[in-house]
A and B are shown apart, each in its own frame.
Chain A
Amino acid sequence: MTGARRSARRLLPLGVLSLLALVPLTFEQYKLYVASLTLVYLVMAIGLNLTLGYAGQISLAHGAFMAFGSYAVAILGQRGAPFELGVGLGAALGFAWGLLVGFPALKVKHHFLAMVTLGFNIIVFLVLRNWEWLTGGSFGISGIARPAWGAISFQSDRAYYLYMLAWAAIVVASAYWILTSRWGRAFRAIRENEMRAEALGVSLRNYKLMAFAIGAAYAGVGGALFAPLLGYIDPGAYTLDRSIQFLMMVVMGGLGRFEGPFIGAILVTVLPEVLRASEGLYLVIYALAVMLMMLFMPRGLVGVWDWVLARLGPAPAARAPLAPPPDAARLG
């Protein structure tokens, strides 16, 4: 691989992030909201990409893990706790429950694991709806405060956007660290060949549980950032639909690729906005686009990026350490 190609690949996420950072300075309120939502989705998708894309463990529970973060922020906020405490608790709850939900992954795989995590998502939804004194039931919680550090308040949409950006940067940096560490390599080894990985000393139990827990902790952070965006949450925001949306993001972006979540998060938020002009046909076009993509780009949109790079430079077929893309079809 040429140096230029490698640095181009490294710079893509950074470039996208800095471009996003400029958005609030120019956009009006609604577009700013969409951009903020993209940041939430980015954090969520990074979490799921770690669990599914790298470690190969499917999770349809990311909507539920997200709810832990949202409700932690909302409930602690009502009691006057600082916002960051809520983010921390959300991440911790996500981690702990991710660990628990990860245990079935030690026994079952693919669509069976999908069923187990799907079930968990439904249980969490039902608990949120029925545990009224804590969660407000179907009415949810409103008036969720945005963070404030003494005199500095992140009350305005722009300020809160910048606040989210800082958290997103932390998530991106920490995910980059994890995935380029020996853990990242062990995750991919499990995805590629579980039996051989174990025979080479990789503890399937430790790494699978960690892949679940870390992915869920990121989802907790994403959920925490999401809650004060509209200042209102209810259980309907954390259904299975939400989990499937995250799944689509990482699959369409490119599973097991660091750039994947960036592309997927932008696509899933921006595409519906662009297609809104087509009124009733929007869902049809959207669904069609997804199907065509799965047919012709099973490795996600990141494949287009690779193709462009391959045209730009005469680089050989070798890949960067973060690069190996699995076939989407291989993950049941």
Chain B
Amino acid sequence: MSLLEIDDLTKHFFRLSALSQVSLRVERGDLLGVIGPNGSGKTTLFNCVTGVLRPSGGQVRFKGEDITGLSADRVHRRGIARTFQLIQLFPEMTVLENMLLAAQEREGTLLGRLLRREGGAAAGRALELLDYLGIAGLRDQLAANLSYGQQKLLDFGMALMSRPEVILLDEPLAGVNPTMIKSLVGHIQALNAQGHTFVIIEHNMEVVMSLCRRIVVLSQGERIAEGTPVEVADDPLVLDAYFGR
């Protein structure tokens, strides 16, 4: 049984088919890349898996359980975290609060979150992660005051905060300067080596090819190829999708 199993996932927007019968498997410890031209359905795939969108058909199973159509908060509490293509933070909350919020809902009960004070462990983990990402000094800054790159790092940190079992990264490197790309790629590799599972949508081919062991290619909502970076790069269907015939 794979960690995350996606079968024939389909999403129509009215008569436009954004995703048609896409299937893929994510194993524990995977570092899977999802690539494809603009509009090929990559983000729609993430949205359908994480409950942001309700799929029109198909099935998503996580650890063997059917999670198709669950709301986004439930999907997160099961252990699937994600980042967004356009950074989504809580601008008027501090960096530390952003991090703490990212983890607070995964354990305990609703009432417990009101009646019991938050232990120091959560803040400890948040600071540890912020320190690891190199933005611990900004802990009391409002998220709105961070630079774009710092916001990307915080976004990434928030995805890690709740100890998810799989992390979906939607273009984590877009718009980030080369130095920070290097550092983010380093973080992803190191965390993957520790056993974290990642699925990454990324346009930076150079990075995807070197970072991911396995790549899935989408085009016009369909899965057209899957394999190692070398296999995918030589696939005529992929070349067609990107460059046209």
Contacts and interface: CB of A to CB of B under 8 A. Distances in A.
Interface residues of B, number: 37
Contacts of B51: 199
Interface of A: 1, 178, 181-183, 185-186, 188-189, 192-193, 195-204, 206, 317-319, 321, 324-326
Contacts of A324: 92-93, 142
B104 interface: yes
Contact of A200 (B76, B110, B118, B145): B76
B113 A183 contact: yes
Contacts of B97: 185, 321
B89 A193 contact: yes
Contact of A196 (B84, B100, B114): B84
Given A178-B114, A183-B113, A200 B105 contact: yes
A201 B90 contact: no
Contacts of B81: 200
Given A183-B114, A195-B72, A318-B140, 7 more contacts: A192-B91, A195-B52, A195-B88, A201-B105, A201-B162, A203-B71, A203-B110
Contact of A319 (B84, B94, B115): B94
Contacts of A319: 94, 142
Given A182-B113, A183-B113, A186-B101, A199 B76 contact: yes
* Residue from the set A186, A193, A204, A206 with the largest chain B CB neighbour count within 10 Å: A193
Interface of B: 50-52, 71-73, 76-77, 81-82, 84, 88-94, 97, 100-102, 104-106, 110, 113-115, 117-118, 140-142, 145, 158, 162
Nearest to B82: A199
B141 A185 contact: no
Contacts of A199: 50-52, 72-73, 76, 82, 84, 88
A326 B51 CA distance: 28
A196 B73 contact: no
A199 B159 CA distance: 10
Given A185-B97, A203-B73, A324-B142, A192 B104 contact: no
Contacts of B91: 192-193
